[in-house]
Chains A and B, each alone.
Chain A
Amino acid sequence: MTIEVKNLTKKFGDFAALDNVDLKVADGELLALLGPSGSGKTTLLRIIAGLDWPDSGEVSFGGENVLSRSAGERHVGFVFQHYALFRHMTVFENVAFGLRVQPRAIRKDEAAIRARVKELLDLVQLDWLSDRYPNQLSGGQRQRIALARALAIEPRILLLDEPFGALDAKVRKELRQWLRSLHQEIHVTSIFVTHDQEEALEVANRVVVMDKGRIEQVGTPGEVYDNPATAFVHGFIGESIVLPVEVRDGGVQLGGKALNIAANGYAPGAAKLFIRRHDMQIGPAGSGALEGSVQHVRTFGPIQRAEVALCGAAEKTVIEIDAPRDRELHAGDAVSLQPRRYRIFAAQE
C-alpha cells in the first residue's frame, strides 16, 4: 500500500508541529522518520494512523484519501513507544483483541482467531508466552507482542513509534535486525519513528530527516549520509566538524585567511564548512588546507584521536581528528589538515 501525504500542517497553539509536509511512501518500503524531539516526526506518524488530525492537508493510502476515516477504519497497525499492552489481558488476548472487536459480519470464528494468534505468536517467536500477563514479560518481549498485536488485523500499513526507545542497548541491536528480517518476510509498508540515526540508517530502506516540522531530506541511508541536503542534516547525521568560514573571490576563508580549498561555486558570504571527522586527513605541516598544532592525543582501539588547535581562526578553535595508529602524533606537533570531502552551507540557520 502506498502512502501519500500532501501539504500537511498541524499547529499546537503557535507551535507548528508540521509545516506543509509532503511525503510519498512506496509500497513495501521500510521508512524511517528521523529527527530530534519536537521535529514533528511523531505527529506525522499519529496523523497517518488517525490518532491525531492535521489543520490542513491530505493523507491518502493507495490513492484514497483517508483523513475522514477513523483510526479503526484505516487498518493501520500501530506499535506504541511504551507498547500500550492491555495489562488485564493475557498475551494471547492482547493479540486476539483486534480480531475480537471486528464487526460481527466479518469476525472470524473462535477457532480461526486462535489459529491466527498462534501463527502471529510463532512469527514473533513467543508462542510459549501466550498465557502470561504483560507485566510478566521483559521489555523486548513486550515489544514483540505489541508488534504481533498490530499485525493481527492484517494492517495495510505498519507504523512504529520509537519502537526500540524504551529498551536497553543490547536488546535494541537484536530487535533492529529482527525487525528488518521480519519486514522482508511480511513486506508490509512500514514507517518507524526514531531519534537515533544509527537505528534509522541501519534498519530503513529510506530515511526521512525532519526538523522543526519540516522535511529536510528524503533519501536512502547512503544518500543522506554522503550527500546531506542541508546543514541540519549534515550536522544531525554522522559526526561533523563545523567551521565558520567566509566564501570570497571563489575561495574559502577562515578568520580572513584563505584556505586551500575551492568554494565550488557557493555564493559569497558567511558560510559554514562541514567536514566528516573521518574525511579529515592529517599530514605534515604545510601540506594541507588548514594548519594547526596538536594539543592532546588519546588512543583507543585501532585509532588515535587528536585535539588540534587551528591557526588563523578568529577565536581559538579546537577540533578533534581521528588518525590511524601507525601515524606518530605528539602534543605540540605542527600539523596540516586536508579534508577529503567537505560541504559548504550558507551560514544562516
Chain B
Amino acid sequence: MNQPQAFTYTPPRDDVHTEPGAIRFVIVALAVLFLLIFVVLPLVVVFASAFSKGVMAYVAALGEPEALSAIRLTLLVAAISVSLNLVSGVIAAWAIAKFDFAGKTFLITLIDLPFSVSPVISGLVFVLLFGAQGFFGPWLQAHDIRILFALPGIALATIFVTFPFVARALIPLMQEQGTQEEEAAISLGASGLQTFFRVTLPNIKWGLLYGVLLCNARAMGEFGAVSVVSGHIRGETNTMPLLVEILYNEYQFVASFAIASLLAMLALITLVAKTVLERRLDEGQVVSDD
C-alpha cells in the first residue's frame, strides 16, 4: 500500500537533561551579570580612568621619571625571580615527580605554602629576618649591607610568593610522563645532563612556559609582600603596583591608572597566552606534539 503518511510531530521539551527555558535564561543572566559587574567593570574602569584626560595625559604619565624607574625596577625584579624560580622549580618538580624519598609530602606542602600565606605575612617574615630589629639586622648593619628597603629584599619577597608556580605546573606533567623515557635515554648512553636537555625538557616545555607565564604575572603584580619590604622610596624602591598605590593616594588618578593599565594589560596578555597554552597542554595529553 501507500507509504504511511508523513506526520509532523514536535518532540516534547527535554526535561531529562536540562532545565526549563526560563530557568536557563535566569541562570545565564545571573552569571553574566555577576561577571560583568564584578570582573569586567573593574577592568573597564582601569582603562577608562587611565584615558579620562586623553591620550596625551596618559602618555605623559607613563613618561614620568618615577613611572619609568618603577617599570625598570619591576622588570628587573621579575627577571631575577622568574629565572631563579625557573631553575629551582624545575629541580623541585623533578625531585618530587621522579623520585621517592622521605619527606616528599612535606616538600609538597612546603612548595604550596606561599600560596596559602597572606602576602603581608610573606613580607613580614623578611622584615623579621633582615629588619633593624631582625635576626640578621645588626650584622647586616655592621657590614653596611642593605637587604630590606632595597632591591634584594624586594626580590626575595617576590621569589617567595612566586615560588610555587613553576613547580606546581610541572609536577603533574612530570608525574604523568614517568621515568621510562629518561631510563631509555640513559640506557642508550646519554649523560644525566644530555638526558635532561634532550628528553625531559622537550617533554615539559609547554608546562614550563605555563608556569613561567603565571610566575611572571604574579612577580610583576605582587603588592602586599613587596609593599612590606620596599620602604616606598620614591624613584628607588617603588615597583609598579606600589606606584599605583602612591599615585592613587595622592589623587593623581590618571597617572595611577596609567600604570595600572599597563599591569592590567599584562594580566590580559597572560590570560590569553594561558588559554592558548592550556589548549596545547590538553592536546599534548592525547598525542605528544613532537
Contact = CB atoms under 8 A, between A and B. Distances in A.
Interface of A: 6-7, 20, 50-51, 53-57, 67-68, 70-71
Give 9 closest A-B pairs by Cβ, nearest first.
A53-B11, A7-B4, A70-B15, A71-B16, A56-B9, A51-B16, A68-B12, A56-B7, A53-B12
Contact of B16 (A7, A50, A67): A50
B23 to A, nearest CB: 16
Nearest to A51: B16
Contact of B6 (A50, A53, A56, A71): A56
Chain B contact surface mostly: loop
B226 to A, nearest CB: 44
A54 B16 contact: no
Contacts of A56: 6-9
Contact of B11 (A7, A54, A71): A54
A201 B28 CA distance: 50
A55 B4 CA distance: 14
Contacts of A67: 9, 12
A131 B16 CA distance: 28
Interface string B7-26: 11101101110000000000
A20 B3 CA distance: 10
Interface residues of B, number: 10
Contacts of B9: 54-57, 67
Interface of B: 4, 6-9, 11-12, 14-16
Nearest to B9: A56
Nearest to B5: A7
A70 to B, nearest CB: 5
A161 B229 CA distance: 65
B20 to A, nearest CB: 12
B18 to A, nearest CB: 13
Contacts of B8: 56
Nearest to B14: A53
Contacts of A6: 4
A174 B14 CA distance: 37
Contacts of B4: 6-7, 20
A50 B16 CA distance: 8
Contacts of A51: 16
Nearest to B11: A53
A14 B7 CA distance: 19
B2 to A, nearest CB: 13
Contacts of B16: 50-51, 70-71
A20 B16 CA distance: 25
Contacts of A54: 9, 11
A54 B9 CA distance: 9
A132 to B, nearest CB: 28
B153 to A, nearest CB: 49
A168 B12 CA distance: 38
A53 B17 CA distance: 12
Nearest to B3: A20
A67 B13 CA distance: 11
A67 B9 CA distance: 10
A78 to B, nearest CB: 11
